[in-house]
Structure 1
Amino acid sequence: MERIIVIGASAGGLQPLRQIVSALPATCEAAIFIVMHIGDHRSDLPTILSWSSKLSVSFAKDNSPIQAGHIYVAPPDQHMVLECDRIRLNRGPKVHHTRPAADPLFISAAKVYGHRVTGIILSGGDNDGAEGLRVIKEHGGQAVIQKPEEAAEPSMPETAIARDHPDARLSAEQIAKLMECCGEIRL
C-alpha cells in the first residue's frame, strides 16, 4: 500500500469529511480510513459520504484485505485497527469514552505503515486522536489538524496541538485541496 490516510472526527466533523472525500480523485491509490464517534447507534455515514465521493465507500469488515482507492468507515460500536494489508474490528474497551475511537486506528496504522501514514483530526469533542497523531509522527508519518478556530467543536484539534506539534493546522478547504494529491502531502 503506497499511502494510508486516517481521519478522526466527531461533533461538527461531517461537513469537513464530505469536503475532504469529495476532493479525492477517482484515480486515488491511497486507502482511506475514517473513524467518526457514532457509538452503538445506527449510521448511514458510508452512504452520506458516497454522495460526495468519486471513490467507493463502505463500512469496514473484519479481516478484509485493504484495497487502494477505497474509503473504509469504522462500523458502529467497533474499533477499527490495521494489520499488514488487513483490517481488524473489535469491541475492545472504549477509548476516550467512545467506540469506535480514532486512537486505536491511528496507532495501529503508524506501527504497521510508518512514514506512509497521514493522520487528520477534524472537529470533535474530547481528546481522541491526539495520542494517535503523536505516534504517527513518531513513526515518520504526517499529522494534520483542522484549525480549531474553524472547527464547530475544537476540543480534538486543540488537544492534538497541546500534545504534539502537528505538521499543519489547516482549514477543511485546505485539507481538501491537499487530498487532491491523494495523500501525497508536501507540507
Structure 2
Amino acid sequence: MAHRDIVAIGASAGGLSALKRIVAGLPAGFDAAVLVVQHMRSDHNSTLPAILERAGPLPAGFAEDGRPAERGRIHIAPPNHHLLLQGETLRLNAGAWENGVRPSIDTLFRSVAACCGTRSIGVVLTGYLDDGSAGLRALSRCGAITVVQDPADAEYPDMPRNALEMTEADHVVALDALPGLLGRLVASPAGPARPVPPDIQLEAEIMAKGYEEAMTALDRLGARSVFTCPDCGGVMWELQDGDTLRYRCHLGHAYSAASFGNALSGEVVRAMETALRTLEERGRMLRRLGRQASQQGQSKTAKLWSERADAFAQQAETIRAALLQIQTAEGGRQA
C-alpha cells in the first residue's frame, strides 16, 4: 500500500523562522515531496531556497513548471506565482490572486487535495488572516492528514486559529514536535483513495487552467452575491464551505469572508486617501487665490477664498482622523 508522500506546508508572517526549524529536524532522504507556500511580496527577490537548504539536509529550490514533485526535496512557490500539483507534476501560474495573495496556500492545498487525497499531508503554520483554512478543509474532505501549528506556539496565531475554526485538524502541535510527527505520518499507509468532491475538483480546475464557462461553473458552486470583486469589479459568487462563506469571481479572484472584508477595507482606505489628497490640493489652491485677491485689494473675494479653504481643511482633518483610526485598528497588518 502507498504511503503518504506529499507534504504541503503554508506559512505567512513569522513563517521563515518556523520553516527553518521544521526543515532542520527533517532527515536526509525524507521519503516525501515537500511543497511550500510562504507569503512574500510579489517583487521580492527571495533567497528562501538557499536559507532552507542551509537550515537542514534536504535540497531546496523554487518549483519549476512541468517538473516532477521529487521525494526528499523542498519545492517552494516562487514570488508572484501560484504553486499547484497535478498528478506527479508541479505547475506554476500567474493566475488570479486568492485571498489577496499570490502564491496562495489555499490554491496549493486545493490542488493537492484534488490530485493526491489520502497520500497527502497539509500543514498550516504561523501567519495573519486565514489563507490555508479553506484549503485545509478541502484536504480533510479528500482524506488527507491535516496538521496545524498550535496557535499558542505560533509567532502570529491568526492563521492557525482560523484553520482550526474551519477544520477539526488531525494534529495540533508545537513547532518542535512537527518534524518527528511528519516523519511518522510519511511512513504511515495512505489508505484507499477517495472520490474527489465535485466542488473541490471544479475550483482546482479553475485555478489550474481557467474555465471557459466560468459563470456557469460558479452557478453550480454557489449563488451570485450583491458584492463586486475588489480586484476586477466583476460579480462575486458566494460559496458556502461548511459553516464558512467564501467568495469567487468568474476571472478566478477568490476570498475567504475575512480576507474579503480586509480587501474591502483596503478599497475604502484608498478612496479616503484620494479624497484627502483632493481636499488638500483644493485647499492649497484656494489659499493661493486668496493671497492673490488680497494683494489686489479684493478683500471680500480674499475672505471668501479663505473661508472655503478653511472648510476644505476641516473636511480633510476629519478624513485624516478616520484614516488613522482604521490604520490603528488594522495594526498595519498584511497577510
1:23 to 22, 25, 31: 25
Residue 62 of structure 2 corresponds to residue 59 of structure 1: yes
State whether residues 82 and 105 of structure 1, in contact with CA within 8 Å, keep that contact through their aligned partners in structure 2. Answer: yes
Shift of 1:182: 6.7
After superposition, what is the alpha-carbon deviation per residue over 1:22-44, rounded to whole angstroms, capped at 9, x for unaligned? 12111212000000001311110
After superposition, what is the alpha-carbon deviation per residue over 1:78-97, rounded to whole angstroms, capped at 9, x for unaligned? 00000011100011111111
**Secondary structure in structure 2 of the residue aligned to 1:149:** helix
1:36 to 38, 47, 68: 38
The letter of the residue matching 2:6 is I
Q: Which residue of 1 aligns with 2:8?
A: 6
Q: Which residue of 2 aligns with 1:163?
A: 166
Shift of 1:184: 3.4
* Alpha-carbon distance in structure 2 between the residues aligned to 1:182 and 1:16: 19
* Alpha-carbon distance in structure 1 between the residues aligned to 2:188 and 2:46: 30
**Secondary structure in structure 1 of the residue aligned to 2:186:** coil
Show structure 2 runs of 5+ residues with no match. 190-335
Moved more, 1-10 or 139-148: 1-10
TM-score (norm 1): 0.95
The letter of the residue matching 1:123 is T
Residue 204 of structure 2 corresponds to residue 179 of structure 1: no
2:101 to 86, 98, 102: 98
Q: Which residue of 1 aligns with 2:193?
A: none
State whether residues 24 and 182 of structure 1, in contact with CA within 8 Å, keep that contact through their aligned partners in structure 2. Answer: no
Residue 130 of structure 2 corresponds to residue 127 of structure 1: yes
State whether residues 96 and 126 of structure 1, in contact with CA within 8 Å, keep that contact through their aligned partners in structure 2. Answer: no
Decide whether aligned partners of structure 1 residues 164 and 88 sit closer, same or farther in structure 2, where only a CA change above 3 A counts: same
Summarize the alignment of residues 81-96 of structure 1 with structure 2, pairs less than 5 Å apart: 81-96=84-99
* Alpha-carbon distance in structure 2 between the residues aligned to 1:43 and 1:4: 24
* Alpha-carbon distance in structure 1 between the residues aligned to 2:31 and 2:150: 27
* Alpha-carbon distance in structure 1 between the residues aligned to 2:82 and 2:115: 16
* Alpha-carbon distance in structure 2 between the residues aligned to 1:57 and 1:138: 29
**Secondary structure in structure 2 of the residue aligned to 1:81:** strand
Q: Greater relative contact order (Cα 8 A, min sep 6): structure 1 or 2?
A: 1
* Alpha-carbon distance in structure 1 between the residues aligned to 2:163 and 2:63: 25
Shift of 1:185: 6.2
* Alpha-carbon distance in structure 1 between the residues aligned to 2:156 and 2:46: 20
**Secondary structure in structure 1 of the residue aligned to 2:23:** helix
Shift of 1:176: 2.0
Show structure 1 runs of 5+ residues with no match. none
The letter of the residue matching 1:37 is H
State whether residues 39 and 76 of structure 1, in contact with CA within 8 Å, keep that contact through their aligned partners in structure 2. Answer: yes
Shift of 1:177: 2.1
TM-score (norm 2): 0.54
Shift of 1:153: 0.9
Residue 144 of structure 2 corresponds to residue 141 of structure 1: yes
Asked which structure has the greater CA Rg, the reply is: 2
After superposition, what is the alpha-carbon deviation per residue over 1:125-158, rounded to whole angstroms, capped at 9, x for unaligned? 1110001110111011111111111111111101
The letter of the residue matching 2:74 is I
* Alpha-carbon distance in structure 2 between the residues aligned to 1:6 and 1:112: 12
**Secondary structure in structure 2 of the residue aligned to 1:51:** helix
Moved more, 73-82 or 176-185: 176-185
The letter of the residue matching 1:169 is V
* Alpha-carbon distance in structure 2 between the residues aligned to 1:167 and 1:180: 15
**Secondary structure in structure 2 of the residue aligned to 1:62:** coil
* Alpha-carbon distance in structure 1 between the residues aligned to 2:65 and 2:59: 18
Q: Which residue of 2 aligns with 1:153?
A: 156
* Alpha-carbon distance in structure 2 between the residues aligned to 1:80 and 1:149: 29
Residue 81 of structure 2 corresponds to residue 78 of structure 1: yes
